[in-house]
Amino acid sequence: MEKGLTKPQVIAQLTKSPHGDLSAYIPIGQVAVQEDPNFFAHLVAWNHQKGVIRDARVALPVIALSGAKDREFVDNALAHMASLDPRSFIKALDFARTAKAPSRLVRRLVERFLREKESSWGDWERTAIQHRKSMKTLYARYHVKPTVTANLALFANMVETGRFGAVKQLSKVSPEEAARLIVEYKIPFLIAQGALGKKAKDPDVLMALIKRMTPTELVTNMKSLEKLGVRDHAILRAALEDALVVASTAKTRTVLKTTKAVEAVSDPALAAKMRNLQERQLDTVGKVEGRWLILGDKSGSMNEAIGIAKQIAAFLSRMASSVSLVFFDTVPYAFDTTGKTLEEIAVATRHMCAAGGTSIGCGLANFMGEVDGIVIVSDGGENTLPYFSEQYQRYETKTGLTPSVYFYQLKGDPNSISDRMLKAGLDMQTFDLRDSSVDYYSLPNMLATMRAGKYALLEEVMATPLLTLDKVLPNTVSLGVMSRV
């Protein structure tokens, strides 16, 4: 792969967050899809199932479409694009122009996407209510003529029944009736809030909104709920807390949204509930099996490394069989974080601060346990013995183990550990975090790619079945997108 990247590194690079800059995926992605289109097609499918970064779910199918020649791989790319919600679908379509994906296929995919929604009025109505602007854009930009009913509802605003009629009534009816409409028609929070105006603060209406909200809506709108007065009303507060309990059992990809929500919530009790939700959500990120050692750099100017090492320890503690966190400068500071929450880890390591020289190897030198994987969080600027590469070889000889090594590289001193590992013939996967646009939003995906076995991740990716457009859009098979090329 480009720049000598291994497939696990390609996976990690192509599933992190560039914060909206989808073109950042192109350099590695286009090389990957040309060198091994079969691998890339399965990566698209694997990331759709396991990935938590929306940008990657939008960009990878487009890159696959722009470079794939095999009909099966093209079908897989189109199917994953069609699996997106309308807002993300438009992002993918915009990116398709940048990535130079076949424009005829794209236009035909849009038509089939819309006709599939129209084939079921309930499906179309739910989608159009939540994504009104995006649906109008799809019809207008790609010159797809809507059905008569769709046109009346979306463009003429003349439908007085169903969900569209219910949304129009919210501002006119009593709070009690508004609450009934919200629950009966499952009106999304942001749509209901916009239509209700000041009525959104009514306790009956707020209760209906809380009952209706999905786990994702609940997490992303906690600050709005606080402003609407939920925490000041005992019954509403109890309902919100019950909803958080339910959300904690749901499969969701909102772990890091929960982190942001905790920071935004001012009420300490609600923040505690949100932290509990976050801990439960960590269980849904995935499973990284085995025993792990995390080496966190606490040498001078490495405050960021301390924070990231704690985050990684919290993720792994929910997945791995054992997790040891060792901070280092020129001496090690060890903590057993197995099964501990992020809050518990933060308390146990609260006195760690950045100071001193750098000996990554010292973190492994006095470690007495057996591990299957090692995570290093540092700038890699080793300036004091023992060096990690040397200590790793001693560990191999002593234990007979060859743990996988993952290096989370941060900004700082010149990186020397990579050269030493390369000269010693030792494998190390590097996640480059030096770009300031990459932050904690990328961590779950990076962690999800770590495996104790060298080829375990690749085997998992290749075992993920590909999708077909007919499976995603089963009611419009006659509108074959590829058959008309």
Question: If we measure between CA atoms, which residue out of 295, 286, 333 comes closest to residue 313?
Answer: 295
User: Does 469 fall in a domain?
Assistant: no
Give the whole-angstrom CA distance, residue 241 versus residue 236.
9
Asked if residue 196 and residue 325 are part of one domain, the reply reads: no
**Tens digits of per-residue pLDDT, 322-343?**
999 999 999 999 999 999 988 8
Looking at 282, 314, 349, the residue that finishes a domain is: 282
User: Does 479 fall in a domain?
Assistant: no
- Residue type at 186 in one-letter notation: K
In 363-484, beta strands by DSSP E: 373-378, 404-409, 429-432
**What are the residues facing 186 on neighbouring strands?**
none
When divided into structural domains, the chain yields a total of 3
DSSP state of 70: S
Report cis status (omega within 30 of 0) of the bond before 386.
yes
Asked if residue 374 and residue 332 are part of one domain, the reply reads: yes
User: Does 468 fall in a domain?
Assistant: no
Asked if residue 308 and residue 190 are part of one domain, the reply reads: no
Asked if residue 10 and residue 130 are part of one domain, the reply reads: yes
- Please give the pLDDT value at position 2: 44
Looking at 135, 154, 173, the residue that finishes a domain is: 154
> What angle do the packed helices 71-82 and 54-67 form, to 10 degrees?
150
Asked if residue 140 and residue 107 are part of one domain, the reply reads: yes
Asked if residue 299 and residue 273 are part of one domain, the reply reads: no
Asked if residue 148 and residue 16 are part of one domain, the reply reads: yes
User: Does 484 fall in a domain?
Assistant: no
Asked if residue 35 and residue 129 are part of one domain, the reply reads: yes
Retrieve residue 61's tokens: 């199918």
384, 353 Cβ separation under 8 angstroms: no
Q: What is the pLDDT along the chain (485 residues), one digit of tens a residue?
A: 444 567 877 887 787 777 788 999 999 999 999 999 999 999 999 999 887 778 999 999 999 999 989 999 999 999 999 999 999 999 999 999 999 999 999 999 999 999 999 999 999 999 999 999 999 999 999 999 999 999 999 999 888 888 999 999 998 999 999 999 999 998 999 899 999 988 999 999 999 999 888 877 887 788 888 888 888 888 888 888 888 777 766 555 555 455 555 555 556 666 666 666 666 655 555 567 889 999 999 998 899 999 999 989 988 887 788 999 999 999 999 999 999 988 899 999 999 999 999 999 999 998 988 999 999 999 999 999 999 999 999 999 999 988 999 999 999 999 999 999 999 989 888 888 887 544 555 677 778 778 877 677 888 899 999 999 999 999 999 998 986 44
Give the whole-angstrom CA distance, residue 190 versus residue 224.
10
Kindly tell me the sign of the dihedral angle through the C-alpha atoms of 197, 257, 215, 77: positive
CATH number at residue 305: 3.40.50.410
Asked if residue 223 and residue 356 are part of one domain, the reply reads: no
Exposure string over 399-424, b if 16+ CB within 10 A, otherwise e: eeeebbbbbbbbebbebbbeebbeee
User: Does 373 fall in a domain?
Assistant: yes
202, 233 Cβ separation under 8 angstroms: no
Q: Whole domain around residue 187: which residue ranges?
A: 162-282
**Tens digits of per-residue pLDDT, 359-396?**
999 999 989 889 999 999 999 999 999 999 999 999 99
Residue carrying structure tokens 């809380």 = 210
Asked if residue 418 and residue 329 are part of one domain, the reply reads: yes
Looking at 259, 282, 305, the residue that finishes a domain is: 282
Asked if residue 191 and residue 229 are part of one domain, the reply reads: yes
Three-class SS of residue 191?
A: helix
